[in-house]
Amino acid sequence: MVDVGVNRFSCIGYPVFRTSFDCGNKVNIVAINDPFIDLNYMVCMFQCDSTYDKFNIIVKAENGKFIINRETITLPEARSHKLQMGLF
């Protein structure tokens, strides 16, 4: 399994994130860094997506954490333009 951090949850990061769930256990998303997108909007992108369709896995924001399929994805507290992978 490969650990992957998504830097910018936009036109490339979001589809890569969604596709990682179709790859079985080959890809593990460990962190998402995007200083421009709110956590609740990330959840909404999955629940209300008109381009890629609704995501059939439980996605929620809980206590400032992004939870998907009962797994917590790290959102760095001090979000920046670069994700430092050695931290996760």
On the question of pLDDT at 42 being above 80, the answer is yes
Buried-exposed string 13-38: b where 16+ CB fall within 10 A, e elsewhere: bbeebbebeeeeeebebbbbbbeebe
Residue 31 parent element (H or E): strand 27-33
On the question of pLDDT at 88 being above 70, the answer is no
Q: In the chain, how many domains are there? A: 1
Kindly state whether residue 32 falls inside one of the protein's structural domains.
yes
Kindly state whether residue 83 falls inside one of the protein's structural domains.
no
- Residue ranges making up the domain that contains 17: 2-78
CATH of the domain at 11: 3.40.50.720
Q: Is the pTM of this model over 0.85?
A: no
Kindly state whether residue 50 falls inside one of the protein's structural domains.
yes
Q: pLDDT confidence of 40, banded at 50, 70, 90?
A: very high
Kindly state whether residue 54 falls inside one of the protein's structural domains.
yes
What pLDDT score was predicted for residue 61? 92
Please spell the DSSP secondary structure of 41-52, one letter per residue: HHHHHHHS-SSS
Residue with tokens 């998907």: 68
Kindly state whether residue 41 falls inside one of the protein's structural domains.
yes
For the segment 64-83, what is each residue's pLDDT rounded down to a tens digit?
889 988 889 888 765 555 55
